[in-house]
Amino acid sequence: MTATAQNVLSDTGATARSSHPGKPRETLTGWGFIAPFGILFILFMLVPIFWGIYLSFTNQSLTGAGGDFIGVANYAEALGDPDMWRSMLNTVWFTILSTVPLVVIALALALLVNTGLPGQWLWRLSFFMPYLLASTVVSLIWVWLYNPQLGLFNAILGWFGVDPVTWLQDPDLAMLSVVVTTVWWTIGFNFLLYLAALQNIPDTQYEAASLDGAGPWRTLFSITIPQLGPTTAMVIVLQLLASLKVFDQIYQMTGGGPAGTTRSAIQYIFESGFTGFRFGYSSAISYIFFILIIIVSVIQFRITARRSA
């Protein structure tokens, strides 16, 4: 549409307006409609992205000092920085730990609700409601639940004579505890996507299956799950990207501790740039992280593309 309008303009010059009434104006209107988004996109996405690439080659400080071009020194330092690798690995570990249950459990919940349990709205509401909470609220609630002295979980364990567990302070448990919180908090979204997809599977297929004598398990594996394929692919992509970006709940629940075992990549970027003042270095880490995300996405697309081909 844009191309046509431009051709028209260049072909007929100034007469375009009269010979094709409305077309340039339409183009203008079109641009007008996307302008609010376009301007914000340029200001807050494109400019920062390219500015960030530039910063990553400088020793720019948050205080305004520095700003000298230092080549790839930041990247070299980052690649040799154990804290950076650790935060990347933590992020990947969190992503693996959280994505699997967030897909599998969401599917299980959706299937259960879709079997026609009475009080569907109640199930839907209770599985989805946590998703509506702000991360701060979720973190506060769960920090109390996990509290070693007064928390609910340790109180329950106490009834069975189990010693208090330091859920968020034990290096072996902290990440798992955060994952449990995250699953509880965000499962509602995947659950809803699955539920909608389930309700879109035509009844005729189930009728045909039952006429052929397929039992419930056979139906599940031969009809329901294959029919959910595209949804599963989408849920996994969205979930991977969401999990890789984890920051809020970790920052609020453990602050990245204990001993850095839950510090995520985004948190390390934040810390090196905003509290550590090193904007240049922080930009370099964020581009390394960006590359990591691209790699994950490409692998993901390859797999789904092959499956659907």
Residues that bind other proteins (CB under 8 A): 39-40, 43, 59, 61-66, 68, 147-150, 164, 166, 168-171, 254-260, 271, 274-278, 281
Give the residue among 107, 134, 51 at the shortest CA–CA distance from 226.
107
Q: Which two tokens stand for residue 205?
A: 């297929």
Asked if 256 and 91 count as a contact pair (C-beta separation under 8 A), the reply is no
What is the closest distance, in whole angstroms, from the C-beta atom of residue 54 to other proteins in the complex? 16
**Encoded amino acid at 234, one letter:** M
Between residues 166 and 297, which has the closer beta carbon with respect to other proteins? 166
For CA atoms 189, 195, 198, 199, the dihedral sign is negative
Between residues 144 and 221, which has the closer beta carbon with respect to other proteins? 144
Give the residue among 71, 68, 114 at the shortest CA–CA distance from 224.
114
Q: Which two tokens stand for residue 180?
A: 């449990």
What is the closest distance, in whole angstroms, from the C-beta atom of residue 87 to other proteins in the complex? 12
What is the closest distance, in whole angstroms, from the C-beta atom of residue 149 to other proteins in the complex? 5
Between residues 19 and 136, which has the closer beta carbon with respect to other proteins? 136
Please identify which residue in the block is written with the tokens 């930041």.
74
What is the closest distance, in whole angstroms, from the C-beta atom of residue 253 to other proteins in the complex? 8
What is the closest distance, in whole angstroms, from the C-beta atom of residue 277 to other proteins in the complex? 4
Q: Which two tokens stand for residue 47?
A: 């400019």
What phi and psi, each to the nearest 5 degrees, are found at residue 61?
-110, 155
Between residues 24 and 257, which has the closer beta carbon with respect to other proteins? 257
Between residues 150 and 162, which has the closer beta carbon with respect to other proteins? 150
Q: Which two tokens stand for residue 200?
A: 């879109």
